[in-house]
Amino acid sequence: MNDSANDLISATVSEPANRTRRDMFRLAGAGFATAALSASGLARAQVKEEAGTESMMIERKGINKDLRVFNIDLLEEEAKQKYGHGTYVFVSHGSGDQWTLRENRRAFGDYVFTPHRMQGIVREKIDTSVTLLGEKLPHPVIVTPFGSHGLHHPAGEVATAEGAARSGALLTVSSASTRSMEDIAKASAGPKWFQMYLTVDAGQSKEVLLRARDAGFKAIVFTVDAIGQGSSDEYMRLGNPRPWLPYGNFPTGNPNAFKTNLTWDDLEFIGATTGLPVIVKGVTRPEDAVAAVKAGAAAIQVSNHGGRALDGTPAAITVLPEIAQALQGDVPIIMDSGIRRGTDIVKALALGANAVAIGRPLMYGLTAGGAGGVNGVMEFMNRELINTVLHSGVDSIGKLNESHVRRA
């Protein structure tokens, strides 16, 4: 999609039978009423504001514009003005008292850099590339799986895919996406993985997994920590106010219940069904990481679901070093949860990660600028990444190690 800032986009509205279109507008909020995308993936049409009507048509300025991002907190404030309050709370909050959400950010301050001077490093020649599961990437920043991109932009994951491809970023698509995996794959010119929430219906899970393989996704990200995903106290007080959007990967727009009694047999099921490498996402204990590799995991994603799963768990950056120590380089490690700057990325790489994944910052970019906003976030992350590596005194991110940081 190559829309100008004033192009019009439409979306087919689909919602539960017991919720009226007026309800959808009210729940979305006056600041940002998102047109929901149908499960069949219909997503292009006119967006036009008709205040006070039930047409569900709204005008969105800056649907696709290049953003020069300087700070994710400032970008979040810009995006906040476009969300309704309930949607903003859903996107930005963690679970419960949100201790883990705050800890994910605070814990980066436990580590400080030890700059290595006079190493003759040429900034323009710094190598930020990384190879993951046989795929060489220009930089180590991955789009983490994040559901319902239609809450942020009428084109949903299609705009995210286009923005990610501009920077060469690896795209991970959630099985809870608003657009179908096939539509997203067609829009993505870059490498892509598919994230899977297994459902209680094994036949349905198998069908979705085979579709992902046939659509060209090169690996499956198996999320193991969303077995009772929580909401913040504020979100519950508001009465679960975000608009309901159908999931584009399921015929009815709504899957059977997600499976919660997960075992390592499920990892083997995914691998046997698709023949693709499987990344286990949601690991915060060294012994779980080791067990995952023994069960066939091709990579580990250290994550606490961005503070959205169990409140009171440690920050991802806190548990990363011990997991890296336990795995001893047997498989690649990806880390997410709390990353907002290129300096965070370098700390994660120095402490044992091979790559990092980001979610909320990209959603704020998607809201503010569409594909151009997603690319703007990636450019910001990589700009800071290169500057920090330069100060570290190495010419490649592969040379970063624990000697480049220390406990504060």
What pLDDT sits at residue 105?
98
Output phi, psi for 351, to 5 deg: -95, 10
| Whole-angstrom Cα Rg for the chain | 20
Q: Which of 82, 91, 75 is nearest to 33 (CA)?
A: 82
Q: Is 231 annotated as a binding residue?
A: no
Cβ contacts of 177 within 8 Å, gap of 6 or more: 147, 148, 149, 156, 157, 184, 247, 248, 249
Q: Which of 274, 181, 143 is nearest to 220 (CA)?
A: 274
Write the DSSP string, 254-290: SPSPBP-S--HHHHHHHHHHH-S-EEEEEE-SHHHHH
What pLDDT sits at residue 219?
98
Tokens of 246: 């159908």
Q: Is 308 annotated as a binding residue?
A: yes
Helix 371-392 vs helix 72-80: angle between axes, to the nearest 10 degrees?
160
Q: Is 149 annotated as a binding residue?
A: no
Q: ∠ CA 206-207-213 to the nearest 5 degrees? A: 90
Distance CA 193, CA 134 (A): 13
What pLDDT sits at residue 19?
39
- CA torsion, points 124, 161, 244, 78, in degrees to nearest 10? 30
Distance CA 390, CA 191 (A): 27
Q: Is 66 annotated as a binding residue?
A: no
User: Which residue ranges make up each domain of the chain?
Assistant: 64-407
23 Cα distance to chain centroid: 28
Tokens of 23: 């309800």
Tokens of 130: 């990384």
Q: Is 338 annotated as a binding residue?
A: yes
What pLDDT sits at residue 189?
86
What pLDDT sits at residue 1?
35
DSSP-assigned letter for residue 232: B
Distance CA 89, CA 370 (A): 20
Q: Is 336 annotated as a binding residue?
A: yes
1-26: pLDDT as tens digits: 333 322 222 222 233 334 333 333 33
Ramachandran region, residue 394 (left: φ > 0; alpha: ψ -120 to 50; beta: rest)? beta
Instruction: Specify the pairing of strand 220-223 against strand 135-137.
Output: unpaired
Distance CA 73, CA 320 (A): 24
Output phi, psi for 356, to 5 deg: -130, 160
CATH class, domain 64-407, is alpha beta
Is 42 exposed, middle or buried, given 0-12, 13-18 or 19+ CB atoms closer than 10 A?
A: middle
Q: Which residues does residue 281 pair with via DSSP β-bridges, in sequence order?
A: 223, 301
CB of 93 closer than 8 Å to CB of 30: no
Q: Is 340 annotated as a binding residue?
A: yes
Tokens of 93: 């909050």
Tokens 């959808």 locate to 24
Positions of the chain with pLDDT lower than 70, given as ranges? 1-62, 229
Q: Is 86 annotated as a binding residue?
A: no
Q: Which active-site residues does the annotation give? A: 305
Q: Is 359 annotated as a binding residue?
A: yes
Q: What's the one-letter identity of residue 339?
A: I
Q: Is 88 annotated as a binding residue?
A: no
CB of 230 closer than 8 Å to CB of 207: no
